[in-house]
Structure 1
Amino acid sequence: MSRRWISVAWPLAQQSAAAVVAWLIAVHVAGHAEPFFAPVAAAIGLNATQGRRGSNAVRLLTGVLIGVLVGEAAVWLVGGGAWTLAVAAFLAMLVARLVNDARIIQAQAAVAAILVTVFGQPEQGWDRLVDAFIGAGVAVVFSQVLFAPEPLRLLRHAEAAVLSSLADALRMTADAFESGDEQRAAAATTKLRDLRDKLAALSTTRKASDRIVRHSLTWRRRAGLVVAERERADHLDLLAGSCLMLARTALAIEGPLRAPLAAVVRQLAAAMDGLATDPGDRPNRQHAADRAAELARWLVEHGGQVPARSPLAAAYASIRMVAADVMVFAGVDPEQAFQDTFPRRREE
């Protein structure tokens, strides 16, 4: 629980500190009496997930600039009032929409235009633009220099979330093997389908890691590590699909073979749990790959006489596919992984 609260409070503390720093710079360096745009821009610029805060600050600055310019023009031309506010907000959002369809740009353009028309004086327009630059600049320094995100850590955190959920679903699948309980099998299938959100978060993290590498001098020199980790993360989509196929074949198995198959599935779940504890640890990945290969070999040895179109053959194939995908994620060459898990197919 304490880690969870720390993970929540730490970004908020950064936003608060950035707002104070931006305000101090605007007051004591730029000499502005009421620099409300500076702390607002700094706080909102950091209001994004790790890996997207730098681009968020740039989008915010774009929106604020549009809003301030449109608002200042409206006040200078027709003065204040409700109609001025409405027209300025509408035009600011329209211009922002033409520049970029990101919602944060449109929202900040509207907010900036409203603040200018309600509280502003035309002669302070330059000060407000400077304040927006100060706030966005502070947000960029906080996000890219002082508290720069670590793409490998972000990727592995997202990978661990997916692997942990997959392990839980496989344990539920093993329960369904043993009991023949349709509700447990349905629950396992539902859990695997609900992985869409975690896989989407992983996809977002993959894209963010690419932006970090391109925009960070530190990580640009280590781009190879990030690319390799991103390629491993890509394979989790296939692993999730293999686990879903396994869950769907669970209840078709009948008879005494359920128990040994359930044991195999539990061992695959344990291998994924091991990976989830530290996806970046090389010995950890090697252990998971060895474990998956051993399970695949057991299935090959004990499944030779199974009719090709039987439910048991489908279950064997599903488990072997999961084992192969675990091996590939752990770093085994894909061709070698499938040769180890589907040797008969390779011989043909």
Structure 2
Amino acid sequence: MAVAAEDARERVTVHFWSVVQAVVAAVVAWTVAGGLVQDHDPFFAPIAAVIALNTSGGERGANAVRLLTGVVFGIISGEVAIALTGGGGYGALALGVGLAMTAALAIGVQRIVIGQAAASAILTVVFAVNFGGGHAGLGRLTDALIGAGVALVFSQLLFPARLVAILRRIEADALTEMAHMLDVSGRALRRDDESSSQEMVTWLGDLSRPMAELSRARENSRHTVRLSTIRWGDPAPVLAEDEVIDRLILLGESCLFLARTTAAMSEDERHELAPVVSRMASVLYTLADDLSSRRARQEAVEGALRSARRFDAQDTGGDPVTTATHLAVEMVATDIMVFAGIRFEEAEEALREDEADLEVPHPPGVPWLPWLPWRPPVDRYRHRWYSWRRRRR
């Protein structure tokens, strides 16, 4: 019960600001639509604003465009159905919905567009039947334009998506899942029974979800940089985070390889390996706690390095499974260090040396307004400073 309550609190905390934005946008859209259109109840304007904003930060602008596309399809189809049937009724409703969904499917749009097209056709026909007006479609289109416009102002200008923060949240979820998997694997190695092995297999399957989410987030971020106001500023932080996701995907594959090889080891070797796997899980938990913290990354690098060195000192005895497990531990440690910010060559060299002082660089900051030029190169300021001094002389 306590865990469920904590999960609920965390979900509300993460999305609370999005809820506030949607509430304010709904009120603004209602006010604007009510002031611009006379003798009209602008119920759809706030609905359109909320629907357009009710998606991940990087997709809100595209969602507004999809909403408008569906509304236009639906209104046109509804009006055509009314004209062909000579008025409203069951036939007009069926024809309007069928035309709207068929037209949306024909051009290969997203499911949200198909749903909006059908809903718009239904409302156009229903309003024509119940109120006898021929302007229901036009009023709904006006509402949709106002609601989507408010959503675009909120999502692109006032509160643009903080893609770096969104990506790091997804990275933290993936790291937590990897840590859970290694933690379960470590406990399974200690118990060495059938139930724990089955539990480990379950965690192996669960890891596919965050890994797929990582790939999807990377593609969405690139799409957002191209089509949103972020392209007006400095896309370097987002592109750098995309590279970090590539490293994290490799880390996930290394963790899978480690968990798989441990299952094939003998009982004595499994018991010896259990502390190493558990320490790697602890390192991943440390990373997931705060990806914006240099201290957390430094602790993770040092912990991974200590664990890999200690295990590498053992003799493999020429056994292929043991050799593969040693390689898996080294791969996990290397990928953790590279993900934390250490160059690959430095990480490999540190594993070969008994003494190595690795300094993790500060992780890039998270820009608050991505559509403004963010953190320009220092050389630009230096050039201006030197030019000013020359003029003063």
Same fold (TM over 0.5): yes
TM-score, structure 1 as length reference: 0.88
Q: Do the aligned residues in 1 keep the contact of 2:127 with 2:136 (CA within 8 Å)? A: no
Correspondence for 1:68 among 75, 86, 91: 75
Secondary structure of the 1:52 match is helix
- The offset of 1:9, in angstroms, is 4.9
Name the counterpart of 2:33. 26
User: 3-state DSSP class of the match of 1:252?
Assistant: coil
The alpha-carbon distance between structure 1 residues 286 and 234, as it changes in their structure 2 partners (threshold 3 A), is: same
**Greater alpha carbon shift after TM alignment, 118-127 vs 83-92:** 118-127
Compute the displacement of 1:203 (Å): 2.3
Matched AA of 2:337: M
Instruction: State the shift of 1:134 in Å.
Output: 0.5
**For residues 296 and 220 of structure 1, do their structure 2 counterparts lie closer, same or farther at Cα, with a shift above 3 Å needed?**
farther
Tell me whether 1:171 sits opposite 2:164 in the alignment: no
Q: Using the alignment, how far apart are the partners of 2:233 and 2:49 within structure 1?
A: 28
**Within 5 A, what are the aligned runs for 1:105-254?**
105-120=113-128, 121-218=133-230, 220-254=232-266
**Structure 1 CA distance, aligned partners of 2:203 and 2:38?**
57
- The residue aligned with 2:298 is 286
Structure 1 gap ranges (5+): 344-348
Q: Please, which moves more after superposition, 274-283 or 72-81?
A: 72-81
Indicate if the aligned counterparts of 1:26 and 1:32 stay in contact, CA closer than 8 A. no
Letter in 1 for 2:125: T
What is aligned with 1:314?
324
Please state whether the residue corresponding to 2:190 is helix, strand or coil: helix
CA distance in 1, matches of 2:202, 2:351: 27
Query: Cα deviations across residues 142-192 of structure 1 (Å, max 9, x unaligned)?
Result: 222333221111111111111112112212212222232232233123212
| Secondary structure, counterpart of 1:269 in structure 2 | helix
The equivalent of 2:95 in structure 1 is: 87
Q: 1:167 to 1:123 in 2, by over 3 A?
A: closer
Q: 2:50 aligns with which of 43, 48, 60?
A: 43
Structure 2 residues without counterparts, runs of 5 or longer: 1-5, 354-393
Structure 1 residues 4 and 27: CA distance shift in structure 2, 3 A: same
RMSD over aligned CA atoms reads 2.4
Q: How many residues align?
A: 341
1:337 aligns with 2:347: yes
Separation (CA, whole Å) in 2 of partners of 1:131 and 1:255: 68
Amino acid at match of 2:332: V
Q: 1:125 to 1:252 in 2, by over 3 A?
A: closer
Q: TM-score, normalised by structure 2?
A: 0.79
Contact 2:49 2:148 in 1 (8 A): yes
Contact 2:190 2:274 in 1 (8 A): yes
* Structure-to-structure mapping, 1:266-277, within 5 angstroms: 266-277=278-289
Cα gap change, 1:336/1:308 in structure 2, threshold over 3 Å: closer, same or farther? Answer: farther
Q: Identity of counterpart residues, as a percentage?
A: 41
Stretch of structure 1 that moved more, 1-10 or 61-70: 1-10
Contact 1:85 1:114 in 2 (8 A): yes
Distance 1:312-1:127 versus aligned 2 partners, 3 A rule: same
